[in-house]
Chain A
Amino acid sequence: MAQQADVLTEAKLQKKKDRNNTRLTIAIFLLPAILTYLVFILYPIFDTFVISLYRWNGISPTRTFVGLDNYTTLLQESRFWFAFRNNMYVVLLSIFVQIPLGLVMALVLFSKIKGKKILNVLFFLPYLMSTVAVGLLWIFMYDPVNGPVNRLFNLFGMQSVHWLAGGTSSLIAILIVIAWQFAPFYMILFRAAMVGIPEEHYESAEIDGASETQKFFYITLPSIMPTIVSSSILAVVGSLKTFAIFYVMTGGGSGISTDILGTFMYRQAFINFNMGYSSAIAAIMFIVALISVIIIQLIDYRRRNK
């Protein structure tokens, strides 16, 4: 009897030991990643919110607690809303230019033509270049004297434009470059979504005598609608990440007309040393991204539960 009990407790002990072992394993395997993530992402985000409550130049050892003052000042400043508006332009550009353009590229890659492999590489090239390189290249594409863009304008009998001299033309010029660089990204997404459409759908449509246009509107478009919706919201997050292209093409982003949240925040922090104020901008950028993600997840959740 006693012996049996011993065996039992021993088994229990062994089980407990195994469980502790597993726990230890989990911890050891996860530790390096969690630590890195904690130190370089989670803590900085938290700290951004903390710093945003202070007035601080980033150098002096003392900082003054000002509560939500930075936020109230920020929300009343027209420069902030200008930058915010420009971010929204980038979002609109993604939805109404890049996504359709990416869709057309994906459709081309899906049509029955020769040389698709090469086309795929050619279409994708802009996305591979570093944004700094893209920006510098396009500065010369837009050059008032020797730039190909103005050359094209002249060919059609139009006047040369000082594209990057500031104002609306600069904004338009930069938005075109963003479209050039990021349309391939959407092309890839749509291509992936189109691969998932079962071939039979097209076959049966063909038997019913559907035209190419009908096939697109009744089969392709509905199937990739979820991708279109989620990439539209993804564009909000993408626009918040936009920085280098504006920074490079406007020489640091000093003009209001071409300021976006990223360059506005950068200048406040690393040129003017308003760390608290700048952190408030960063915090708002984070909150906007968070809200967009929650919306995506909700839409996704509802679609899955249908």
Chain B
Amino acid sequence: MKLLKKGSLYGLILILIIFTTYPFLYMIMTSFKDMREFFTNPFSLILTSFTMDQYLSVVEMGMTNYFVNSLIISILSVLIVVAIASLASYPLSRINFKFNRTIFILFLAGMMIPVHATLIPIFIMTSNFGLYDSLWALLGPYVAFSLPISIFIFTQFMQEIPKELEEAAQMDGAGHWTIFSKVLFPNMKPAISTIVIYNFVFIWNEFVFALILIQSRSSQTLPVGLQNFYGEFSVNVPGLMAALTLASLPVILVFIISQERVVKGLIGGAVKG
């Protein structure tokens, strides 16, 4: 009886593993096949031949350009988010003032807003600023939509830092800026890394804004670039799979290195919102 139970548990786990990982392995393994191998053995995960040619052709077709664009906009947005979200969280968590709670809730509500409710005005605004079709058009929306979760995580984290720390600094005559930059900020490393990683994943994968605000290939980011590849590769499935693998790689690496941080961000975003 016990054996049967254990057997069914492992059976269940096996099915789950196949369901979640087979598509993934299919993507990676197909990317190493040449066209002939793909057409003779489209499903097999075992390779009879191995080639990196698909990766070379993906790079030749402009993958590097999309990759660099994604990297630039992700890193820059994340840096700005960390700066302005941590600044905003200082008064929200440490100072009592009249509209404290209201402002905090207003920021939190941002997590629930469907981006579509902002698309047309942002599109028009971008054109008016002359930023349409530039990578920089994405900066504002990306930072703004990352703010709610970041402010939430920072504020919660700062509330947990003991007050004594800053009281001691206050005795020494430190102002708010000194307390924030010298006392609190250096103590926020766990929160900062959670926010960096979580937002990086979100921005790296963002599609709608990238689709409507940018038209030329030289400024496009990876998700839209992949869409282009799909049109260009048509029957070259291994080529497309190489592009998909390359595009997914950074996020997966980030996750494997720092699992707990990503997870913390997720929970923060979902539980409160």
A residues in contact (CB < 8 Å) with B: 22-23, 25-26, 29-30, 32-34, 36-37, 39-41, 43-45, 47-48, 51, 58, 104-105, 108, 111, 113, 119-126, 128-133, 136-141, 146-148, 151, 180, 184-185, 188-189, 192, 227, 230-231, 234, 237, 240-241, 243-244, 247-248, 261-262, 265-266, 269-270, 275, 278-279, 281-283, 285-286, 289-290, 292-293, 296
Alpha-carbon distance between A132 and B208 when the two chains are bound, in angstroms: 10
Besides A121-B259, A131-B205, 6 more A-B contacts (Cβ < 8 Å) are A29-B180, A129-B248, A137-B26, A141-B26, A151-B42, A282-B120
Contact, CB under 8 Å: A148 / B26: yes
Size range of the chain B interface in the assembly: 35 or more
Whether B223 and A130, one on each chain, are in contact in the complex, defined by CB atoms closer than 8 angstroms, is yes
- In the complex, which residues 210-263 of chain B have their Cβ closer than 8 Å to any Cβ of chain A? 211-212, 222-224, 226-227, 230, 237, 240-241, 244, 247-248, 251-252, 255-256, 259, 263
Q: 28 interchain pairs (CB within 8 A)?
A: A25-B177, A26-B97, A37-B110, A39-B140, A40-B140, A44-B118, A45-B113, A48-B118, A58-B123, A122-B17, A128-B252, A128-B255, A136-B230, A140-B240, A146-B38, A146-B237, A148-B26, A148-B43, A180-B20, A188-B263, A188-B267, A192-B263, A227-B271, A230-B271, A234-B273, A247-B211, A262-B208, A286-B117
Contact B19 A180 (CB under 8 A): yes
- Give complex CA distance A121, B205 in Å: 19
Give Cα A129–Cα B205 distance, bound, in whole angstroms: 7
* Interface residue B16 (Cβ < 8 Å from any Cβ of A): yes
The one of B9, B22, B270 that contacts A231, using a Cβ cutoff of 8 Å? B270
Is B95 touching A22 in the complex (CB atoms < 8 A)?
yes
Partner of A41, one of B10, B144, B208, B255: B144
Evaluate contact between A131 and B207: CB separation under 8 angstroms.
Answer: yes
B122 touching A189, Cβ below 8 Å: no
Cβ of B188 within 8 Å of any chain A Cβ, yes or no, is: no
How distant is A138 from chain B, measured CB to nearest CB, in Å? 7
Contact of B147 among A37, A133, A137 (CB under 8 A): A37
A168 to chain B, nearest CB (A): 22
Residues on B lying within 8 angstroms of A by beta carbon are 9-10, 12-13, 16-17, 19-24, 26-27, 30, 38-39, 42-43, 83-85, 87-88, 90-92, 95, 97, 103, 106-107, 109-110, 112-125, 140-141, 143-145, 147, 151, 175-177, 180, 201, 204-205, 207-208, 211-212, 222-224, 226-227, 230, 237, 240-241, 244, 247-248, 251-252, 255-256, 259, 263, 266-267, 270-271, 273
Quick check: A36 and B117 within 8 Å, CB to CB? no
Minimum C-beta distance from B50 to chain A (A): 20
On chain B, the residues within 8 Å of A292 by CB distance are 112
Q: How far is the CA of A105 from the CA of B21 in the complex (A)?
A: 13
CB of B161, distance to nearest CB on chain A (Å)? 16
CA distance A151 to B252 in the complex (A): 28
When distances are taken between beta carbons in the complex, the residues of chain A under 8 Å from B247 are 130, 133
Question: Which of chain B's residues has its CB closest to A176's CB?
Answer: B19
Chain B proximity of A117: nearest CB distance (Å): 9
The answer to whether B252 and A282 touch across the interface, beta carbons within 8 angstroms, is no
B208→A243 contact, CB < 8 A: yes
Q: Does B248 contact A123, Cβ atoms closer than 8 Å?
A: no
Residues of A with C-beta under 8 A to B13: 108, 113, 119
